[in-house]
Structure 1
Amino acid sequence: MNKTPFTVLGGTVLAFASTGASAQEMTLYGEIDASVAYVSDVGGRAQYRAGSGLIDGSFWGLQGKEDLGGGNAAVFRLERGFSVTSGESVDDHPFYVGLASERFGALTLGRQYDTMHDYFAPYVLTGGTGGTTFAHPFDNDNANNSWLASNAVKVASATYGGFSAGAMYAFSNTAGRFAQNRAYGFGAHFDGGPFNAGVAWMHLDGRGESPLGAYDTSVLPGAGLVPTEVAVQREDMIGAGMSYVLGDVTLGAAWSRSIRSGMSEAEGGGPLPSGAFSNYEVNAVWQATPALSLAGMYAYTGASSANAAHWHQGAVQAVYQLSKRTDVYSEAVYQRASSGALAMINTCDASGGRNQLLVAAGVRHHF
């Protein structure tokens, strides 16, 4: 997500401690994203809808930093998502507090993005330019950060010679059940100027089995390939991606795999077959003019399960900057599922068949 700080009262707020030896910086920022869209097939019928957050999501946030001296600082971040169209609050943004060092990195505690978001998502369009609707089916690799980790402790290193790395552990918070609904993972990134690459891995135990733990239930195809809320006893996600800048064009490629076993329906506990998803994506972003950017992607997702479903997805997007903080955009996403499976573009309900097309236009304002 691209977040632009908003200058409060003409400038960033600075509050000085009574000793005069340290300073606290706090920034208010956010984004409002509203759109209208046509979806070709939702349960067998066409849909026309007004929406919120088609690319980044609408949200506001406070971010703060207190200088502790010697290149060290206390940091915090509080964000809250919301729907422009309905006014509802959306719990899909981080809350954390921690310590940061220019020399060593950062340690943060709270509800946070996981390592798939931090180290893999930058190489797929759903993690950047394309946004929410460009996610792989069911956002099975969490590249669109459909779920955040609660009770999470995260470390992120400083950058040394272009390399950086990080790790996260999210507690179950259940007495006597240390491994119930917990998560842990790591990631690494290389910044080589025009060439960048990243790799990430996340492991989850007992996802959704406890309301106190790291993650909520996930949405995956259940019986008859109809999306359903599921709990998962064991889940592993791994992803790797790279990008290369050629003048005004950025080319990207990424692969991810998510493996789930011991699945059951969240309501009723009915068992579901284990399965895995493999995602392959190529993408490109062209800064055609200082104000106009064009992006496109193709992704193939294959499911390793009894039904062996697969999905093809292609998407294009154009964003035009009206000013430093306001832009308008249009996009189209097409998904085709294998025989017997349903198409389901992210943010849309399932189609009544194999195909689904979304065409949308919207306006965003950053503050």
Structure 2
Amino acid sequence: MNKNILAVLGGTVLALTGADASAQQLTLYGEMDTSLDYISDVGGRAQYRADSGLIDGSYWGLRGTEDLGGGNAAIFRLERGFSVTTGEPFDDHPFYVGLQSERYGTLTLGRQYDTMYDYFAPYTLTGGAGGTAFAHPFDNDNANNSWLVSNAVKVASATYGGLSAGAMYAFSNAAGRFAQNRAYGFGAHYDGGAFNAGVAWMHIDGRGASSVGAYDTSVLPGAGLVPAEVAVQREDTIGAGMSYALGDVTLGAAWSRSVHTGVSSADGGAPLPSVAFSNYEVNALWQVTPAFTLAGMYAYTNAAATSAAHWHQGALQAGYQLSKRTDVYTEAIYQRASSGAFAMINSCDPSGGRNQLLVSAGVRHRF
């Protein structure tokens, strides 16, 4: 971030927190996450690396609220991701503006999280304490939010008797091709105190078919099950999850299925096998002390395709809070693929075979 950008941000903060501060609030916030990793097999060789964002992607953001009276407000959110280790910027965080009502809910417009992330992901460990490396293979259900949705209009209800729901529509923005690279979905959540549950569904037409549409291209098993960047003619994803708190231990379970048909290479358009993933996960989080947490999960993923493949994945994580804003962590993730498939833990390059182990230690700071 150069001095000119800092000057603009500083001026914006001063302007919006000046004379009208009682009606308008602006918050500058963010997070930095960096780690040292060991990966047992990347293309047949061990890898040692300095990493950024292994649990949470590092980012900075601005969040604003203007009181409109009567329990209503105008809101906006602007975030930008970056690599702590290289300084590279990432377009992996939301930008949106909207209206909020204490009585009815929220309407937002912009580049946003989809309904799978909002209503299903919290019951997976990748959508909670575990973070990036705990995602299901290829993040096929988007529980780790590998892809945000552009051109999106999203509504989220207020909570009534523990129940809340939401829906989203994302435009293709292509003239004469209204259904080319568009998306829509819905989700619902129940908060019963110790017991919580959620369900979500997303549908995408013509994913990656245009650069101005709802979603970027995806990554799926290509020829020989080697990971490939692809466009997808039709994609449907559904997920359901639940959690139950027993004192200091929270137990969770999640299931999802994503079906990808009309798959083609993003480079050249060559047809590739359609694929349907089914993911099954159980997880647990133990708050050992107010500062110390342990988390673990096991997930099984089956891919029905021209060549069927499946993956087993187990993971453990320990975190210790040094202060309100700073914590340290260590984690280990092991993945084993079926014969003929490649192990590829999320955030890692593919292994040279069926097995891959990631061991990491890192530090996070929030501001």
TM-score category (smaller protein): over 0.9
- Answer yes or no: is 1:263 the counterpart of 2:263: yes
TM-score (norm 2): 0.95
User: 1:34·1:51 contact (CA, 8 Å) conserved in 2?
Assistant: yes
The CA RMSD over aligned residues, in Å, is: 1.2
| Matching residue of 1:79 | 79
Query: What CA distance in whole angstroms lies between the structure 2 residues aligned with 1:209 and 1:49?
Result: 34
What displacement does 1:173 show? 0.2
Give the letter aligned to residue 288 of structure 1: V
Gaps of 5+ in 1: 1-7
Q: Secondary structure at the match of 2:126?
A: helix
Give the letter aligned to residue 280 of structure 1: Y
| Matching residue of 1:56 | 56
What displacement does 1:275 show? 1.2
User: 1:62·1:77 contact (CA, 8 Å) conserved in 2?
Assistant: yes
| Matching residue of 1:106 | 106
What displacement does 1:214 show? 0.3
| Matching residue of 1:43 | 43
Query: What CA distance in whole angstroms lies between the structure 1 residues aligned with 2:166 and 2:18?
Result: 31
| Matching residue of 1:179 | 179
Query: What CA distance in whole angstroms lies between the structure 1 residues aligned with 2:172 and 2:19?
Result: 38
Query: What CA distance in whole angstroms lies between the structure 1 residues aligned with 2:279 and 2:37?
Result: 26
Q: Secondary structure at the match of 1:180?
A: coil
| Matching residue of 2:140 | 140
Query: What CA distance in whole angstroms lies between the structure 2 residues aligned with 1:25 and 1:235?
Result: 39
| Matching residue of 1:277 | 277
Correspondence list, 1:201-240, <5 A: 201-240=201-240
Residue deviations 1:187-234 (CA, integer Å, cap 9, x gap): 000000000000000000000010010000001110011100000000
| Matching residue of 1:156 | 156
Q: Secondary structure at the match of 1:178?
A: coil
Gaps of 5+ in 2: 1-9, 11-15
| Matching residue of 1:340 | 340
Give the letter aligned to residue 361 of structure 2: A
Query: What CA distance in whole angstroms lies between the structure 2 residues aligned with 1:350 and 1:259?
Result: 22
Give the letter aligned to residue 170 of structure 2: A
Query: What CA distance in whole angstroms lies between the structure 1 residues aligned with 2:63 and 2:169?
Result: 23
| Matching residue of 1:313 | 313
Aligned length: 354
Give the letter aligned to residue 235 of structure 1: E
Q: Secondary structure at the match of 1:272?
A: coil
Change in Cα spacing, 1:26 to 1:285, as seen in structure 2 (3 Å) is same
Give the letter aligned to residue 274 of structure 1: S
Q: Secondary structure at the match of 1:121?
A: helix
Query: What CA distance in whole angstroms lies between the structure 1 residues aligned with 2:354 and 2:52?
Result: 26
| Matching residue of 2:199 | 199
Query: What CA distance in whole angstroms lies between the structure 2 residues aligned with 1:15 and 1:124?
Result: 42
TM-score (norm 1): 0.95
Give the letter aligned to residue 113 of structure 1: Y
Query: What CA distance in whole angstroms lies between the structure 2 residues aligned with 1:350 and 1:275?
Result: 19
Query: What CA distance in whole angstroms lies between the structure 1 residues aligned with 2:269 and 2:57?
Result: 32
Query: What CA distance in whole angstroms lies between the structure 2 residues aligned with 1:311 and 1:202?
Result: 23
| Matching residue of 1:362 | 362
| Matching residue of 1:4 | none
Query: What CA distance in whole angstroms lies between the structure 1 residues aligned with 2:284 and 2:294?
Result: 8
User: 1:74·1:98 contact (CA, 8 Å) conserved in 2?
Assistant: yes
Change in Cα spacing, 1:306 to 1:106, as seen in structure 2 (3 Å) is same
Give the letter aligned to residue 125 of structure 1: L
Give the letter aligned to residue 202 of structure 1: M
User: 1:344·1:356 contact (CA, 8 Å) conserved in 2?
Assistant: yes
Give the letter aligned to residue 347 of structure 2: T
Runs of 4+ with deviation above 3 angstroms: 13-17
User: 1:14·1:23 contact (CA, 8 Å) conserved in 2?
Assistant: no
Give the letter aligned to residue 132 of structure 1: T
Q: Secondary structure at the match of 1:120?
A: helix
Correspondence list, 1:18-37, <5 A: 23-37=23-37
What displacement does 1:306 show? 1.4
What displacement does 1:16 show? 4.5
| Percent identity between the two aligned chains | 81
What displacement does 1:273 show? 1.3
What displacement does 1:14 show? 4.0
